[in-house]
Amino acid sequence: MQHLRRFNEKLVLKDYSTYIKKVAQDYKEAPDFEESEKYRWNILNDSNHTFFKRLLSKVTVVFCTTDKSKDNTTVNIMNRDFDVVYKKDDPYASQQEMKEDYFRSKKLFISMDYSEHPVFSVEENIVFRTVHDYIVHILSDVDFSGKGEIAAFNAHSKLAPKESVPAIFTEVVGQASYFLTFGNFPKQKITILDGFDYNNVGEVEGCEVVNKDLKCDDMNMKNNLRNFNMKHLKRFNEIYDSPKATRRSSNHRYPEFTQLTFSPHQVVD
């Protein structure tokens, strides 16, 4: 753990405020459940549990809740009991606080609140949160801001099976954008947000990036997003499968996870 490397992903935009509003609106208008896309969350769930098992050698995970009735209880994950404690508010006010607490105590507090999910059980959803927070907010030193969650998606997607990356975008960028725009946690959805480039995060179908600013015609934007179909996913697959993408593995960034690196098509069983 002494050799953590900060994740420095090149970001497309200098200001993501317009982009975040676009993502939030599309998340709001997207269908609640697309049965044809459910498999992406199943693949993500498998990889989450593999990472979770691995990180337990590095950190003591404690789950927390604002529900006093669950104080000093346990939750069973992968045949192991984890402590659940009551906290009046979110466990951390900032990513900096999370990181400093981890390095001081080797503990990571993960909220169980708002864990109802269309595919994941509560236990599976908090496993995802644990993996995400540890990999991107501690190992990658990425904050909780909108721009930070963009970088968080970039970091997490480099480690995940390619089929799960659109699901991670919905879960991370989609939900964070909704919260930052509308001020409340959104309904969790099984849906793909079409029109957003997963490789160059900040580029949007129907918009232009001019001097690292996003310029959109709102009417054209709305039409293009809903008619985007699978062109972007095809391009994403081409990039993900390229030799360059293979070279950009997680090994040099996260030595702790070397044994868990995915090949482009690998699905963890």
Q: What is the DSSP secondary structure assignment for residue 188, as one 8-state letter?
A: P
More confident: 146 or 11: 146
Where in the sequence is the domain holding 24, given as residue range(s)?
17-239
Report the number of distinct structural domains present in the chain. 1
Task: Taking residues 215-225, report their average pLDDT.
Answer: 58
Give the pair of three-digit tokens for residue 27: 């998340």
Per-residue pLDDT, 44: 98
> Who's near 198: CB < 8 A, 6+ residues apart?
157, 165, 166, 169, 232, 236
Q: Which amino acid is at 152?
A: A
Give domain status of residue 168, yes or no.
Answer: yes
Residues 258 and 216: their CA atoms lie apart, in Å, by 41
**pLDDT over 70, % of the chain:** 77
pLDDT digits (tens, 9 = 90+) for 60-113: 999 999 999 999 999 999 999 999 999 999 999 999 999 999 999 999 999 999
Give domain status of residue 262, yes or no.
Answer: no
Give domain status of residue 198, yes or no.
Answer: yes
Give domain status of residue 5, yes or no.
Answer: no
Give domain status of residue 87, yes or no.
Answer: yes
Give domain status of residue 92, yes or no.
Answer: yes
pLDDT digits (tens, 9 = 90+) for 32-49: 999 999 999 999 999 999
Give domain status of residue 12, yes or no.
Answer: no
pTM: 0.78
Checking if the pLDDT of 264 tops 90, the result is no
Q: What is the DSSP secondary structure assignment for residue 10, as one 8-state letter?
A: P
